[in-house]
Amino acid sequence: MTTAFDPIDLAGTALANRVAMAPMTRNRAPGRVPTDLMAEYYAQRASAGLIITEGIQPSPAGQGYPNTPGLHSDEQVAAWRRVTDAVHAKGGRIFAQIMHAGRIGHPSILADLPGDLHPVAPSAVAAEGQVFTPEGPKDYVTPRELTDAEVRQVVADFAAAARNAVEAGFDGVELHGANGYLIHQFLAPGSNRRTDAWGGSVEGRIRFAVEVVKAVAAEIGPERTGLRISPGNPYNDIDEPRPLPTYTALLAELEPLGLAYLHVLEVSPEVRDITVQLRKQFSGTFVLNPATDGPTDHTALGLVEDGTADVIAFGVGFLANPDLPARLAAGGPYNTPDQSAFYGGDRTGYTDYPTL
């Protein structure tokens, strides 16, 4: 019987186990550049079979939160190289999650950048809610609708960021198509109200995701390209009432590419039937960030044993337990996560969690 602690070949990248560190925004990159503290943070968690980084914007306009890192400048590439070197020195494997926030953000977060930048989206539809900015919480603004030429430029930005990721030493990239950010905004009918070739029908709404994946796979190889999705996830004011037809159509387009993996985030136990359907449809490595009863729910490990997934991703469990695979194997004990330190700050609640 295969267990979560067995190795796996990820399209040519050897993983020591099937316990992955899920991507988590930590807002600790002042000036949008990774720091030595970030290198320490990720290296501490190198016992994960696979580390997936926090969301990294592929372009200046893709930033949605303060102090998130980018992969669009030489300085950022050099700084990320220190992170990947630190992880590899500990025997780990690390993929960069490339995330364009789309309509999630605020002009004040981009105000120090040239070009009078403004959040963009498939359609000029504002998300309900607020975002934390350097000036405090602010309502989301109405985004500017991307033109056809601009959509194509964003696709190229993803590919360029993927090329930069490989140059920075990452083992591959994960494209963030979940949680209400730009790729997800194109997939969902509530945020994509276009009537051109990038919207309208299911085929139109999946087109941006397909084009981004194909462009990145052509740039760095499909074996180094993964995609994260979260069908039916209402986060960031996403309206996706009938997700299954959209995602089965998406996978039908992506299945022949031979991607490194598909990463599914479950928003609740009620969507497990969608997970099972997508698992049947996708022949490659299936990574699951399951809906669980707490951040270190041992029952999640059984999802590898029963074949629901090939790899299980844990988020907050890894945040508070840098040696999570060892703790899972031992049945605990586990550190208590410091929620006050999730976003921003210094090493407190970041690199000071003890190991066993």
Residues written for the chain: 356
Q: Residue 131 forms beta bridges with which residues?
A: 138
CA–CA distance, 209 with 183 (Å, rounded to integer)? 6
- Assigned token pair, 50: 């696979």
Residue by residue, DSSP assigns 264-306 as: EE-SSGGGHHHHHHHHHH--SEEEEE---SSTT-GGGGHHHHT
Classified as helix, coil or strand, 19 is strand
**Which class for 7: exposed (0-12), middle (13-18), buried (19 or more C-beta within 10 A)?**
exposed
The answer to whether 272 touches 278, Cβ cutoff 8 Å, is no
- Active site residue: 65, 140, 181, 350, which one? 181
Residue 354's identity, in one-letter code, is P
Nearest to residue 234, comparing CAs of 207, 265, 278, 193?
Answer: 265
Angle at CA of residue 120, ends 115 and 124, nearest 5°:
130
Question: Over the Cα atoms of the chain, what is R_g?
Answer: 19
CB 151 within 8 A of CB 85: no
Q: Which residue has the tokens 């703790």?
A: 327
Q: Where are the alpha helices (DSSP H) in the chain?
A: 36-44, 74-89, 148-167, 182-187, 202-220, 243-254, 272-281, 302-305, 316-320, 324-330
Q: Apex CA 354: angle with CA 351 and CA 356, to 5°?
A: 140
181 is catalytic: yes
The dihedral over CA atoms of 64, 67, 72, 77, expressed in degrees to the nearest 10, equals -150
Q: Which residues does the annotation mark as catalytic?
A: 181
